[in-house]
Amino acid sequence: MHVRHAILPATLLALAGPGVAGLPDPVTRCAIGRFRDCDIRHAIERGLVETGLVPRFPDQARCRGIDEGFAISYSHKRDREQYHGGIDIPAPSGTPIIAAADGTVVAKYQGLASFRGIELVVRHAPEDTGLPAWVYTQYAHFSELPAVQVGERVRRGQRLGPTGNTGIGRTGRQSQRRRPAIHFGAFYSDRADYVDAQERIIPLEGHWMDPLALWRGKPPLDSASLQALPAADKEVNVAVVLEDGSVLPQGARIVWPYACARG
């Protein structure tokens, strides 16, 4: 499992591996890390706001949908102002979570003190996705630690691990009420380097990304621009892997994190 790191002075922070950098600037640290000493306005400024995007799946597929959207308020579930850093897609326990695109695993966390529970983060180079940025996809609430290792390359549609409901609740203990689901998040940056700090991957100069923007396949990626799109452009055609392994549409680089039934 990847070693956990606290936010410490650069001289004391031991990080290793390609793409790993020193300390993030204070704004990025707070915007993406959302540590308890941080002002939520930094996350909002870096894109943690609702965009209004909605998915449209292929007519030939029956897919698992979203029940909690990107950047909805979670303040009623927390002891401070907070917003949802991804999308939640419910599925029965044990349902395989799959890689949305080719990429490299940059973190694997046990998540014993995290709302996200067992978590995996994959970094995607521009050539992996066709998008003009380095993108990070976050997969959380696994029922057990995925077998893939930090530094390992994964392929679009590859099984990462089983769906679960791991993660603490308001009591600080494993939640007994959370339904099994994937929490699927995304970040992006023009830079390739990142920091691993206290079970958080923080892309340097990183921004929040509505995960549905992944399937637009083009800029803009920032939430403010997506929010400003006309209503007709809010529906996003999502590419999927079917249970038989075929991809709709063929050749898509980024797919839904669950396989879909043919329908």
Q: Is the peptide bond before 257 cis (omega within 30 degrees of 0)?
A: no
Q: What is the pTM of this model?
A: 0.91
What's the pLDDT score for residue 4?
Answer: 33
- How do residues 26-49 score in pLDDT, each as one tens digit? 999 999 999 999 999 999 999 999
Architecture of domain 10-52+65-224: Distorted Sandwich (2.70)
Question: CA-to-CA distance for 196 and 24, rounded, in angstroms?
Answer: 10
Is residue 116 within 8 A of residue 203, CB to CB? The reply is: no
Structure confidence at residue 81 (pLDDT)? 81
Residues with Cβ within 8 Å of 218's Cβ and at least 6 positions away in sequence, in order, are: 131
Phi, psi torsion values for 124, nearest 5 degrees: -120, 125
Q: 165 and 143 in contact (C-beta within 8 Å)? A: yes
* 6-27 pLDDT tens trace: 333 332 233 334 466 667 999 9
| Beta-ladder partners of 201 | 196
Residues of the chain with pLDDT under 50: 1-18
d(CA 104, CA 207): 19
CA distance 131 to 231: 23
